Amino acid sequence: MNKEIKKKIMASVIVILLGIVILFSTLIFKNVFNENKIDYITGVSSGLIVVGMFIFIKTIYAISGADKGQEMVNKLQDERLIAINNEASGITFRITTVIAAIAGIVLYLLGLEKEGMLLTAFVGIDTLIYLMSYFIISKRK
Amino acid sequence: MKNLVEELRKSRNEKQEELAHCVGVSRQTIISIEKGKYNPSIMLAFKISRHFNKSIEEVFFCEEE
């Protein structure tokens, strides 16, 4: 089996397991959380399970036929699609960082200092992670 | 960068899908390369050229050339 397909199957299994673990731990530690939090966590974990199952079934279906399997491998390794994905990720990062920074300042000015501070701290951490990954990748390439 | 991928492929009566399958990319990538919208990496350019039994320079070239 192709390495990329293995990675995809592994990722979907991890997502499913994560969803199941969160779901069961919420049910076990029922008394710790209030009802609203339980509903929220149950929703998130169910979402993880559904997404994981969807990716898993889609991947298994795709590799069921020899041609389909090769097509999927080609799509996963396609340099143009990878480049598009990288560019889209970069744009998303920039836009969300700017929106979060603006929202943080606006919240701060509106008197919601704690929320504003949290959001700007998030922007700071996000940028720091970006710089760190940039540095690590530039060292490797 | 310009290329002769479309001409070479058509001369062999080959479909875009077949070429894509041989060089390990999607059909959309072959379409983009043929239209000149996407410049392939050296590795992919090498694979495409080798598929047509040509050198990279024979298939891909700069517009000024």
Could you report the per-residue pLDDT of B26-60, keeping only the tens digit for each?
899 999 999 999 999 999 999 999 999 999 999 99
Exposed e or buried b for every residue in A32-71, given b needs 16+ CB within 10 A?
A: eeeeeeeeebeeebeebbeebeebbeebeebbeeeeebeb
Could you report the per-residue pLDDT of A93-120, keeping only the tens digit for each?
999 999 999 999 999 899 988 889 999 9
ipTM for the complex?
0.80
**Chain B residues touching A77 at Cβ < 8 A:** 24-25
pLDDT at A66: 64
What CA–CA distance (Å, rounded) separates B43 from B21? 15
Interface membership of A127 toward B (CB under 8 Å): no
Residue ranges of chain A whose pLDDT lies below 70:
1, 65-69
Does the structure show a pLDDT above 60 at B65? no
- Cβ(A79)–Cβ(B48) under 8 Å? no
State which residue of chain A sits closest to B37, comparing Cα positions. Answer: A80
Interface membership of A105 toward B (CB under 8 Å): no
pTM of the predicted structure, to 2 decimals: 0.67
Q: Which of B24, B38, B40 shows the shortest C-beta gap to A74?
A: B24
**Chain B residues touching A74 at Cβ < 8 A:** 20-21, 24-26
Interface membership of A94 toward B (CB under 8 Å): no
pLDDT at B30: 95
Domains and CATH numbers, chain B: 2-56 (1.10.260.40)
Burial class of residue B3, CB neighbours in 10 A (0-12, 13-18, 19+):
buried
For B22-28, what is the mean pLDDT? 90
pLDDT at B64: 66
Smallest CA–CA distance, residue A75 to chain B, in Å, is: 6
